[in-house]
Structure 1
Amino acid sequence: MRIIAGEFKGRTIKAPKGDGTRPTTDRVRESLMSAVNSACGGFEGATVLDAFAGSGALGLEALSRGAACAHFFERDGAAQRVLCGNVRALGLEARRARIHRGDVLRDPPAHARPPFSLVFLDPPYALAAQDALGLAATLAADGALAPDALVAYEHGAGTCGEADAAVAACGLALASRKKYGDTVVDLFRPKEL
């Protein structure tokens, strides 16, 4: 895998071995980043949460494009070692790339300041949409999600109905939905109060 654009354009990053993670393909990642760029007017100064980080490709791409900092959460030790290696290979300082080992659902970064302006949710497809999107609701309730934040959720094409039901319960509004073969990427914003 390679970083697609920005400061680290063309730099190689590694993916964890095995089937414990499912790295976002370059094509989907490029389309996702383009959609985020359009929706947010760029990445400059963004505070990013890469909640199910794996290799860290989504958060690293955001940093390459100008995000101020990214918090990476990964509970699998092997995946976290690959993530740490990718961060080191890009020469990122700890103040920009913050790696947290643990389950983001059990211990969400509820006290993040500044609040997250961009959240990437790319969990294992077996994780229920209610659980994944519930993280965004938890962050919003705790003031750790900016009022104008963008939440990107990658899931299987067969779970759109489940995602739609979860979104209504989580205080989010669908901004866009794009399908790439068996993969769907939804962009959400917090609902206006």
Structure 2
Amino acid sequence: MSRNHNTKSNEKSRKPIKGGFIRLISGKWRGKKLPVKDIEGLRPTTDRTKETLFNWLMRDINDANCLDCFCGSGSLAFEALSRFAKNVTLLEKDKSVVKQLRENLTVLNINNANLIEADSIRYLSQVATEQYNIVFIDPPFHKNLVQPCCDALQNHGYLADNALIYIEREVDLSTLNLPESWQLLKEKSTGQVTYQLYRQGQALT
């Protein structure tokens, strides 16, 4: 699952957004609020962080095939869809969260999203049947999920040529061993959260 931080130093809070909503900040559903479940570990990405991320993705999001590996509230997935992504696949294992995501997809009459109820690491350990241009990795903190997720994406063929990979993680996670072909494009830290954007390029020789 995924996402929430307060805007300043208490970025790692597990409390849901005030009122239990996420807000779409741009695109065809700009200003639209969608309800989220109040469950432990759910951390919807703040508007400030989300705006920074989608500014980074401004030239790439339109018509992109996207994968949200730990979609939780769906904050990043719905923002991508609002900004005219071609298709978004959402992975989420919590049944109650999946139910809410399905209801929100119905409310917006979305027909270009694929919601999969599954453990993300287990699902990504299968050989890919399609490739993605943009991948969001924003798992629950302190669960050691970032590394196996990155490994599975790389090793099982989920990344399209020149794919962009967004990682949102606790700032003290310093032991990632990412593929040499992943080039760091952008990086920012706020409070106890670090977020990074990589592009898959050619492996160094």
- Band the TM-score falls in, shorter-chain normalisation: 0.7 to 0.9
2:139 corresponds to which of 120, 123, 147: 123
Q: After the TM superposition, which parts of structure 1 deviate over 6 Å for at least 4 consecutive aligned residues?
A: none
Residues 52 and 121 of structure 1 are in contact (CA less than 8 Å); yes or no, is this contact kept in structure 2?
yes
TM (norm. structure 1) is: 0.86
Structure-2-length-normalised TM-score: 0.81
Tell me the residue number matched to 1:185: 195
Are 1:112 and 2:129 matched, yes or no? Answer: yes
- Asked if 2 retains the 8 angstrom alpha-carbon contact of 1:172 and 1:190, the reply is yes
Q: What residue number does 1:142 align with?
A: 156
**1:27, distance to aligned residue in structure 2 (A):** 1.3
**Mapped pair 1:22 → 2:32:** no
Partner SS state of residue 55, structure 2 = helix
Q: Distance in 2 between matches of 1:119 and 1:110?
A: 16
The aligned counterpart of 2:113 is 97
- In 1, Cα distance between equivalents of 2:39 and 2:148: 28
Larger relative helix fraction: 1
Q: Distance in 1 between matches of 2:184 and 2:96?
A: 34
How far the C-alpha of 1:110 sits from its partner, in A, is 3.4
Distance 1:138 1:43 in 2: 23
Query: Structure 2 CA distance, aligned partners of 1:133 and 1:120?
Result: 13
Q: Which residue of 1 aligns with 2:75?
A: 57
Cα drift, residue 78 of structure 1: 1.3
* Alignment match of 1:87 (pick from 105, 108, 111): 105
Structure 1 position 17, deviation (Å): 0.7
How big is the shift at 1:186?
A: 0.8
**Structure 1 vs Structure 2: percent identity of aligned residues?**
29
Partner of 1:175: 185
Corresponding residue number in structure 2 for 1:31: 52
CA deviation string 1:134-187 (max 9, x = no partner)? 43343333332112000000011222x22xx3225x752322211122211111
Task: Name the SS of the counterpart of 1:29 in structure 2.
Answer: helix
Give structure 1 stretches of 5+ with no counterpart: none
TM-align CA RMSD: 1.8
How many residue pairs get aligned? The number is 181
Cα distance in 2 between the residues matched to 1:99 and 1:89: 15
Q: Among 151, 166, 179, which residue is 2:177 paired with?
A: 166
